[in-house]
């Protein structure tokens, strides 16, 4: 008789068979892949011993594709077919093309669903396709290092990536044939690398400034639990913007106009990037570009990028406020991302938090290392009992209700994964369908938030207004991806949608949404109060007119009917013209009192009709 071995969930059925899971930092400027060996996370090098892989893809007319250093070498000679910084385009739509077109020397086109694509020698290429090439290259490197196929990967994303950008990242992995174990926020990955290595407990700030994105996260580490208390940042702020600042300065110094060729634009940007990197280790750099010779000093550079640095500090201040944490409660500040090598960044961060930042781990590699540690747990090579991750959702998720109001279902900075349900009802008698509009943002009105998705729930049994019960459930998984379902509780009719918007938020829009929610708090409160009264006025008008049309002649005299119609007319006038919710509320109350006599007569008439032709004994027996 043979024995059949049954493995634990997530564990290999063969006791000595190791599964290979990797951590991938898909970066704007450079990408890395890491794996756990002998309990330690290590980034993997290519055949030349280089750990970083430039996030660059080159397409040639013959259909060949090169990735990394070989592709980066084509940047100046073939700029239109050499795609870099494509992470900034992930999940973004045609609305950002104008801005992106000014920053990148590419020719853009928009497809049928609003996705930005780039014209290349092999045709239109989406950011998802280009990023998939980078992922394939990283997986190939891992397979060469391990001599085995890869069973899964944890891929990191900026904490401030919205639903569209996270979904686009997952699409990249699917296209590359990579099994995604989890999307992990980059700051959380860094905290894993530092926290597990040093066994720290307390409050940690992760300041992550990469090539194209910026995140700041406030994390609480306690007994192996990583809890993200708050997160903030800008998904369109990074080292590339510092390069563009130098490029703008060079335009002014050289007197060049804006009609440079793509090759000249690329040369200017590459020169700017090289100058920025040189200024991380010296006080001045000599520049020779497009027949111009000059010197850029660290003082001039610091002055020109001050606005960008201030943006990062403002985000830190907001994150502290959201976490309800004082600066003196912070134990450590961790710098992540190659752009934190700029002296002004370290100086301003230390000045703001009053702590010398931790830089023991390579800021370029720390995110990939943390991802590998998490991947090792998820694939089943190591028990996860000693490590629990509690990430948060960056922006509130809500639903549109009558009057264009937003009812928040899951509030920002809520720990994920999370599932929340809320009951709603119908507005009109006999209503058999309901439109579900999913929105994201912090404001009170739908017009001021971002639309994520719309779907319909049909087959609701016809009932009087307010009788139906529709349970709407929002589920955000560990990757930060959203599923919404709606179910009518009487009939069990159900509909659902996986939120997969085809475009992302515009540059700085997330930050702007948060700022607007604070500066417009009172205005939003008043707007919401007005909308609520307008909805109540519409409901009262519709119900009362229906009742008058049915029973007015039988129950009221002409004077009473005239008075009610006049009150309704005044209510409708106020509904359209008044911007003061209190005036509208008073008129609603007045109409309600005026119609009380009519409501009482209708009820009496209804009771008489129900009792007509029945004896007292019959009534008592029914009871």
Residue 192 CB partners (closer than 8 Å, separation 6+): 226, 370, 371, 373, 374, 387, 389
What pLDDT is stored for residue 445 in this prediction? Answer: 78
Confirm whether 303 is a catalytic residue: no
What pLDDT is stored for residue 285 in this prediction? Answer: 92
**pLDDT 10s digits, 155-189:** 999 877 877 788 889 888 888 888 898 898 888 88
Model confidence at 503, pLDDT cuts 50, 70, 90, reads very low
Nearest to 387 by CA among 130, 39, 35: 39
What pLDDT is stored for residue 505 in this prediction? Answer: 39
Query: What is the 8-class DSSP label of residue 200?
Result: -
Upstream peptide bond of 440 is cis (omega within 30 degrees of 0): no
Q: Which of 129, 162, 186, 241 is catalytic?
A: 186
**pLDDT 10s digits, 526-554:** 766 777 777 777 877 887 888 888 777 77
Element (H, E) at 123: strand 123-125
Model confidence at 140, pLDDT cuts 50, 70, 90, reads very high
Length of the chain: 623
Q: Which long-range contacts (CB under 8 A, 24 or more apart) does 72-80 make?
A: 75/266, 75/270, 76/263, 76/266, 76/267, 76/270, 77/263, 79/105, 79/262, 79/263, 79/265, 79/266, 80/105, 80/106, 80/107, 80/119, 80/120, 80/262
What pLDDT is stored for residue 195 in this prediction? Answer: 63
Q: What is the spatial distance between Cα 463 and Cα 500, in angstroms, rounded to a whole number?
A: 33
pLDDT reading at 1 higher than 50:
no
What pLDDT is stored for residue 156 in this prediction? Answer: 93
Q: Which of 78, 87, 376, 391 is catalytic?
A: 87
Task: Name the CA radius of gyration of the chain, rounded.
Answer: 30
- Please state the domain extents for the chain: 21-238+306-392, 397-519, 522-611
Nearest to 221 by CA among 185, 256, 196: 196
CATH class of 522-611: mainly alpha
- The architecture CATH gives domain 397-519: Sandwich (2.60)
Highest mean pLDDT among 98-107, 268-277, 441-450: 268-277
What pLDDT is stored for residue 158 in this prediction? Answer: 82
Task: Name 226's bridge partners.
Answer: 221, 389
What pLDDT is stored for residue 186 in this prediction? Answer: 84
Residue 106, phi-psi category: left (phi > 0), alpha (psi -120 to 50), beta (remainder): beta
- The architecture CATH gives domain 21-238+306-392: 2-Layer Sandwich (3.30)
Domains 21-238+306-392 and 397-519 share a fold: no
Confirm whether 208 is a catalytic residue: yes
Mean pLDDT of the 327-344 span: 90
This prediction's pTM: 0.59
Model confidence at 590, pLDDT cuts 50, 70, 90, reads confident
Q: Would you say 67 and 134 are in contact if contact means Cβ atoms under 8 Å apart?
A: yes
pLDDT reading at 114 higher than 70:
no
Q: Which of 25, 103, 163, 270 is catalytic?
A: 25
Reduce the DSSP state of residue 227 to 3 states and report it.
strand
Q: What is the spatial distance between Cα 239 and Cα 339, in angstroms, rounded to a whole number?
A: 5
Mean pLDDT of the 236-257 span: 86
Q: What is the spatial distance between Cα 213 and Cα 583, in angstroms, rounded to a whole number?
A: 48
Which residue has better confidence, 249 or 196?
Answer: 249
- What are the C-alpha distances in Å from 147 to residues 26, 141, 378? 22, 10, 21
**pLDDT 10s digits, 349-369:** 999 999 999 888 888 899 999
Reduce the DSSP state of residue 525 to 3 states and report it.
helix
Q: Which of 78, 208, 488, 516 is catalytic?
A: 208
Q: What is the spatial distance between Cα 283 and Cα 394, in angstroms, rounded to a whole number?
A: 38
Task: Name 475's bridge partners.
Answer: 419, 483
Confirm whether 25 is a catalytic residue: yes
Reduce the DSSP state of residue 513 to 3 states and report it.
helix
Q: Would you say 493 and 457 are in contact if contact means Cβ atoms under 8 Å apart?
A: yes
Confirm whether 186 is a catalytic residue: yes
pLDDT reading at 391 higher than 70:
no
Q: Would you say 371 and 188 are in contact if contact means Cβ atoms under 8 Å apart?
A: no
């Amino acid at each position: 008789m043979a024995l059949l071995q049954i493995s634990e969930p997530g564990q290999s059925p063969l006791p000595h068979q190791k599964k290979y899971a990797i951590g991938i930092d898909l970066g704007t400027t450079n990408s890395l892949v890491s794996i756990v060996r002998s309990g330690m996370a290590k980034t993997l090098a290519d055949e030349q011993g280089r750990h970083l892989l430039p996030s660059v893809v080159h397409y040639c007319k013959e259909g060949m594709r090169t990735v990394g250093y070989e592709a980066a070498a084509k940047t100046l000679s073939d700029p239109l077919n050499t795609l870099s910084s494509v992470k900034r385009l992930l999940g973004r739509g045609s609305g950002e093309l104008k801005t992106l077109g000014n920053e990148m020397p590419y020719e853009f086109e928009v497809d049928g669903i609003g996705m930005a694509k780039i014209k290349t020698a092999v045709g239109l290429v989406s950011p998802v396709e280009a990023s998939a090439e980078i992922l394939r290259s990283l997986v190939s490197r891992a397979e060469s290092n391990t001599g085995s196929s890869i069973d899964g990967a944890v891929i990191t994303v900026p904490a401030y990536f919205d639903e569209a950008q996270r979904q686009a990242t997952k699409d990249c992995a699917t296209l590359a044939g990579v099994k995604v174990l989890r999307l992990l926020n980059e700051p959380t990955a860094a905290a894993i690398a530092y926290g597990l290595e040093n066994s720290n407990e307390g409050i940690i700030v992760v300041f992550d400034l990469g090539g194209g994105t910026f995140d700041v996260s406030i994390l609480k580490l306690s007994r192996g639990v990583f809890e993200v208390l708050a997160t903030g940042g800008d998904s369109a702020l990074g080292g590339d913007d510092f390069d563009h600042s130098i490029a703008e300065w060079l335009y002014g110094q050289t007197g060049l106009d804006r009609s440079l060729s793509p090759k000249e634009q690329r040369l200017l940007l590459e020169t700017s990037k090289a100058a920025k990197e040189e200024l991380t280790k010296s006080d001045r750099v000599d520049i020779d570009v497009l027949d111009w010779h000059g010197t850029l000093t660290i003082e001039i550079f610091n002055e020109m990028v001050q606005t960008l640095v201030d943006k990062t500090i403002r985000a830190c201040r907001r994150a502290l406020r959201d976490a309800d944490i004082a600066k003196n409660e912070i134990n450590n500040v961790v710098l992540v991302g190659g752009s934190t090598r700029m002296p002004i960044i370290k100086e301003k961060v230390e000045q703001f938090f009053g702590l010398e930042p931790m830089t023991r781990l390579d800021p370029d590699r720390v995110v990939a290392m943390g991802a590998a540690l998490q991947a090792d747990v998820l694939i089943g090579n190591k028990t996860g009992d000693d490590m629990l991750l509690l990430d948060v959702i960056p922006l509130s998720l809500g639903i549109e209700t009558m009057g264009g109001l937003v009812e928040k279902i899951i509030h920002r900075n809520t720990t994920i994964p999370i599932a929340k349900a809320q009951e709603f009802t119908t507005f009109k008698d006999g209503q058999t369908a309901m439109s579900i509009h999913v929105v994201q943002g912090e404001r009170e009105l739908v017009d001021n938030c971002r639309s994520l998705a719309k779907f319909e729930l049909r087959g609701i049994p016809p009932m009087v207004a307010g009788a139906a019960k529709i349970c709407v459930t929002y589920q955000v998984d560990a990757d930060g991806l959203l599923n919404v379902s709606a179910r009518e509780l009487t009939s069990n009719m159900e509909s659902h949608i996986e939120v997969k918007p085809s475009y992302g938020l515009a540059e700085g829009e997330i930050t702007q949404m948060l700022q607007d929610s604070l500066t417009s708090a009172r205005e939003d409160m008043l707007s919401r109060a007005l909308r609520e009264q307008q909805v109540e006025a519409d409901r009262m008008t519709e119900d009362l007119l229906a009742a008058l049309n049915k029973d007015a002649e039988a129950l009221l005299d002409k004077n009473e009917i005239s008075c009610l119609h006049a009150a309704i007319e005044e209510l409708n006038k106020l509904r359209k013209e008044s911007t003061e919710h209190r005036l509208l509320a008073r008129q609603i109350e007045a109409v309600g009192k005026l119609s009380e006599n009519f409501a009482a007569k209708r009820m009496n008439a209804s009771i008489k009709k129900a009792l007509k032709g029945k004896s007292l004994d019959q009534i008592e027996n029914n009871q």
